Amino acid sequence: MSSWALTVGHWRRVPIRLHASLPIGLFVLSGLRFAPLDWLCLTGLVLLHELGHAVVVRRVGARATEVMLTGFGGHCAWEGEVTPLGRAAIASGGVAAQLVVLLLALATWALDLWPQGEVASTVLSAATMRNGYLIALNLLPLPPLDGAEAWAFPYRLGQRARVRLTVMKNVRHAGGDVVSAGSGSAEDQAKRLAAQLLSDARKEEQK
Amino acid sequence: MTTLLTLLLVLAAAFVVAFALGFARRPPDPIRQLKDRFITLSRLSRAQAELELLERVESLAERYPGKSYAWYLEWLVTDLERAKR
């Protein structure tokens, strides 16, 4: 844990910390001008991104330990053992959260529900254009950007879908009588199916 | 806004392509992987290791009936790994 950071709050017991380099990064990103609203919007976007990671970390059964916002972006530290799909999901969680905000902002704007005024216009610009650029940047497949791992998410999702489909087909094929008969609990059916698979495997071994 | 819509379309297309690639590629066979791991750990010839594996799976199946073939393999591999440590 960096001593150059200040804890400003918690999200589900995960400390949210601002690193000393954050103001410098915001100043540079806003074109070296004094623009507190821009800084606030950027900080909000980065925070949203990191919280997106933290939410997925929880969903896949790991534990987020820290959310840090720095001058170079931010990072969500976590611990625990996750599957490769879970790891890829964590990497894409940040961008997913940004996409949700982008789509909501676009929908609100398109439906003419977005409020008028200078502040509202700056926030809209941050939630759409700036958010879009950050998403595009983050998804470049280069470490340490999220894109280096995030693109594995749809790929692994596809793999999982195929495996599930294959298993479902095999269950219907191999244990058709067991499943369709609907006799016994799901656990019994699974056990019978496992026994059948074992006997098939033994036969295969003996060949 | 056209830029944003283009970005969203590109992202959606890339997502679909990556998903389709994952779906199209044959997934690794976990049973084959476990068997290979067992053979490596047993330090026997392939034929000997496969025979040994068959015997061990059968004996395990008697001790723990009703489990999947992968379960027995995983048990044996974990046991061997523990023994190697």
**What are the φ and ψ backbone dihedral angles of A71, each rounded to 5 degrees?**
-70, -15
Q: Do B24 and A158 touch (CB under 8 A)?
A: yes
Residues with Cβ < 8 Å from B24, sequence gap 6 or more?
A: A158, A162
Residue B61 included in any domain: yes
Cβ–Cβ pairs < 8 A, chains A and B: 80
Which of B1, B2, B3, B4 to probe by mutation at the A interface, max A CB count within 10 Å? B4
| A68 and A168 part of one domain | no
CB nearest to B21's CB, from A102, A128, A155: A155
pLDDT of residue A181: 43
Q: Do A197 and B58 touch (CB under 8 A)?
A: no
Q: How many domains does chain B have?
A: 1
**How crowded is the C-beta side of B8, counted as CA atoms within 13 Å?**
16
| A82 and A140 part of one domain | yes
Domain hosting residue A12, numbered range: 5-153
A 10 A CB-CB count for A197 gives 19
- Mean pLDDT for B38-63 is 89
| A102 and A178 part of one domain | no
Residues with Cβ < 8 Å from A195, sequence gap 6 or more?
A: B65, B66
Q: Which residues of A touch B21 (CB under 8 A)?
A: 155, 158
Residue B4 included in any domain: no
| A149 and A168 part of one domain | no
Q: Do A158 and B11 touch (CB under 8 A)?
A: no
Amino acid type, A30: S
Q: Do B21 and A135 touch (CB under 8 A)?
A: no
Residue B23 included in any domain: no
**Rounded to whole angstroms, how far apart are CA atoms A39 and A29?**
8
Q: Do A198 and B15 touch (CB under 8 A)?
A: no
**Rounded to whole angstroms, how far apart are CA atoms A143 and A17?**
23
Task: Name the interface residues of A facing B (CB cutoff 8 Å).
Answer: 99, 102-103, 106, 128-129, 132, 135-136, 139, 151, 153-163, 166, 191, 194-195, 197-198, 201-202, 205-206
Domain hosting residue B58, numbered range: 30-84
| A86 and A118 part of one domain | yes
Report whether the peptide linkage leading into residue A144 is cis, meaning its omega lies within 30 degrees of zero.
yes
Residues with Cβ < 8 Å from A88, sequence gap 6 or more?
A: A149, A150, A151, A152, A153, A155, A156
Q: The complex's ipTM?
A: 0.71
Q: Which residues of A touch B16 (CB under 8 A)?
A: 154
| A143 and A165 part of one domain | no
Q: Do B22 and A132 touch (CB under 8 A)?
A: no
| A144 and A163 part of one domain | no
pLDDT of residue A92: 94
pLDDT of residue A116: 86
What value, to the nearest 5°, has the Cα angle with vertex B44 and ends B42 and B50? 85
Each residue's pLDDT, cut to its tens digit, for chain A (207 residues) gives: 567 888 888 999 899 999 999 999 989 888 888 888 989 999 999 999 999 999 999 999 999 999 999 888 888 999 988 888 999 999 999 999 999 999 999 999 989 888 888 899 999 989 999 999 999 999 999 988 999 999 999 999 998 898 888 777 777 766 554 444 444 555 666 666 666 677 766 666 665
